A and B are shown apart, each in its own frame.
Chain A
Amino acid sequence: MKGSVNRAPYYFIAPTLILLTIFSLLPIFVALFISFTNMDLVGLADYSNIKFVGLKNYINVLADPIFLKSIGNTLFYVIIGVPLVIVCSLGVALMINFGKARIFKAFRVIFYMPAVTNVVAVAVVWGYMYNTKFGLFNYILESIHLPAVPWLTHPVWAKLSLILLAVWRAIGLNMIIFIAALQGIPKSYYEAAQLDGASNWKQLTSITLPMLRFAIFFVSITTMIGWLQFFEEPFIMTQGKPLDSTTSVALFIYRNGFQLSNFGYAAAGSFVLFFAIIIITLIQFKFQNKDTDL
């Protein structure tokens, strides 16, 4: 009996560990390996056709104008999208937390709702609302005598339109994280501040925001990683159009891997993305440490 207890934990963890090894850990090494080869459909059919090409994929991908453009687009998504998500979700969280009436709890449900819905389905819905001629947005703009907007057809507007959709979906989860953090701030801090006659604004800037530093850091890192992997929205709504001005790095990798079957080339691109994510995360951690030292 003792023996069965000793072996039992391995039976419990084995299935998951095997699956995680095959589909999460092993793939890293496979990806690294094929990023140095010319793996494509020919190589897939017969492994003897696979040749080592050294760093050629990396050199080519870093010189590929579409890849460079996709990096620029992805940076645009990150630089506009991350602050927007933080400001919106933090703003909503502060307002909901501020409210005393029971109705304020219902707002959590409403603002969270877009987060549980299917990306493909909402992208289809937004694609219709963005339609320049029959879409809801231009209809509203025209009815208040504003000029129509080329939502998905102008290079810059198209990026902003995709960001708007993604922000709409991202508010909910981050709002919940902020509300949880807000409720963790001891009430006594506010009571003391109120006795000193501190205004609401003063309480916000000198108690709430400093106490939320870790939550803001957490949300900005996870949001940034999410934006660096931005994929479904451009894939469904624009396919990178117009002229690759909405193509993200993730979409570039998917297209090269699964539509053009240049597996080695796409794997090299994916490692460039991976390194970018690691480096940006490390930089953020460094800034965070400096913050807490002060």
Chain B
Amino acid sequence: MKSSSTAAMKPMKSTNRQEKLFQWFVGIILTIGGILMLIPFFWMVLSSLKHESELMKLPLTIFPSSPTLENFTKLFENMNFAVYLKNTLIIVFFSFIGLFLNAAAGFGFAKYDFKGRDSLFYIVLATMMIPGQVTMIPVYLILNMMNLTNTMIGIVLPGLVGAFGIFLFRQFMSTIPNELLEATRLDGASEFRLFVQIILPLTKPILAVQGILTFIAGWNSFLWPLIIANDEKLYTLSVGLSLLKGQYGGNYALQMAGSAFMIIPVIIIFIIFQKHIIENYTISGMK
């Protein structure tokens, strides 16, 4: 990024100044764009701290006249947000098991030579092309046949593993030298111990990124809980929030509190780990 114009530093001073001016110009445009991108978040937080009546008064106020947390407590008193939160955390927990399974499969494909390996791997990749709308209905029917509709297992299973994760793990693990595995095998370690004690620690960078993305995906999970859960006891935060929108359509303060409750934890996690997440795409996104 830096060196692109250092070679051209020699020419006249005026181009240098022009360049600097242009840098400022681009910076200002990006700042305006960035503020526009963030407006929904600011508006959500500010509105969630206002009393319900303040949102329905014209002209609108920007900052809450008397900030309150009552909307957030209402989420837990009037709605079952505690239950939704618990279910969401259960789903997050299971999606980490899915992450482990993806890693194991990636290891199997990367470090062993076995019959049918390549064709099986192509099948795994092919599943990425299948649109969700096509599988939505049959998956529901299959789960129904297994008597798993309206159960937590039924909500978790369809999205537990994914081809993209397997692909990333396989790519990364292929770079681990075979000699390392052979040395550990000579020490008499079982293949499973080899995977858990040698391979997984070496995979830490990708495991970290995938872990964060898994958390975010689990936290945001919406479609399967919506389809599989008939019972409010199994609703996740997203499904609960869409229910809240239906039940309290006019109470925007409560809706903003519900949204903030879902969005803010993810934004905090994202900001802490943003470097890893963004670089993950820079590494894996364009290959």
Stretch at the interface among B72-80, B202-210, B251-259: B251-259
Cα distance A160–B164 when bound, in Å? Answer: 32
Task: Given the known inter-chain contacts A4-B191, A19-B160, A116-B266, please indicate yes or no for A122 contacting B259, CB distance below 8 A.
Answer: yes
- Specify the chain A residue showing the minimal Cβ separation from B34: A110
CB of A8 within 8 A of CB of B27, answer no
Within 8 A of A (CB), among B261-287: 262-263, 266-267, 270-271, 274, 277-278, 281-282, 285-286
Q: Does A61 contact B (CB under 8 A)?
A: no
- Specify the chain A residue showing the minimal Cβ separation from B33: A92
CB of B242 within 8 A of CB of A120, answer yes
Q: Which of A103, A136, A187, A274 contacts B60 (CB 8 A)?
A: A136
CB of B141 within 8 A of CB of A44, answer yes
Interface size class of B (residues with CB under 8 A): 35 or more
Q: Which of B38, B102, B114, B133 contacts A110 (CB 8 A)?
A: B38
Q: Which of A13, A97, A113, A136 contacts B43 (CB 8 A)?
A: A136
- Specify the chain B residue showing the minimal Cβ separation from A178: B286
- Specify the chain A residue showing the minimal Cβ separation from B283: A180
Q: How far, in Å, is A144 (CB) from chain B's closest CB?
A: 14
CB of A129 within 8 A of CB of B30, answer no
Cα distance A37–B40 when bound, in Å? Answer: 46
One digit per residue, 1 when the CB lies within 8 angstroms of any chain B CB and 0 when it does not, for chain A 95-119 equals 1111111011001111111101111
Report A-chain residues with C-beta under 8 Å of the C-beta of B140: 257-258
Q: Does B22 contact A (CB under 8 A)?
A: yes
Report A-chain residues with C-beta under 8 Å of the C-beta of B136: 253-254, 257, 270
Q: Does B138 contact A (CB under 8 A)?
A: yes
Stretch at the interface among A20-28, A76-84, A146-154: A20-28
Q: Does B216 contact A (CB under 8 A)?
A: yes
Cα distance A96–B195 when bound, in Å? Answer: 40
Q: Does B81 contact A (CB under 8 A)?
A: no
Q: How far, in Å, is B199 (CB) from chain A's closest CB?
A: 10
One digit per residue, 1 when the CB lies within 8 angstroms of any chain B CB and 0 when it does not, for chain A 12-51 equals 1101110110111111101100100001000010000000
CB of B222 within 8 A of CB of A100, answer no
Q: Does A168 contact B (CB under 8 A)?
A: yes
Report B-chain residues with C-beta under 8 Å of the C-beta of A139: 59-60
CB of A44 within 8 A of CB of B144, answer yes
Q: A-side interface residues toward B, CB under 8 Å?
A: 4-6, 8-13, 15-17, 19-20, 22-28, 30-31, 34, 39, 44, 92, 95-101, 103-104, 107-114, 116-122, 124-129, 131, 133-134, 136, 139, 168, 171, 173, 176-177, 179-181, 183-184, 187, 190-191, 194-195, 200, 215, 218, 225, 228-229, 231-232, 236, 249-250, 253-254, 257-258, 263, 266-267, 270-271, 273-274, 277
Given contacts A136-B39, A191-B4, A191-B8, could you give 8 more A-B pairs where the C-beta distance is less than 8 Å?
A13-B104, A15-B105, A23-B142, A117-B220, A122-B259, A125-B44, A176-B285, A267-B134
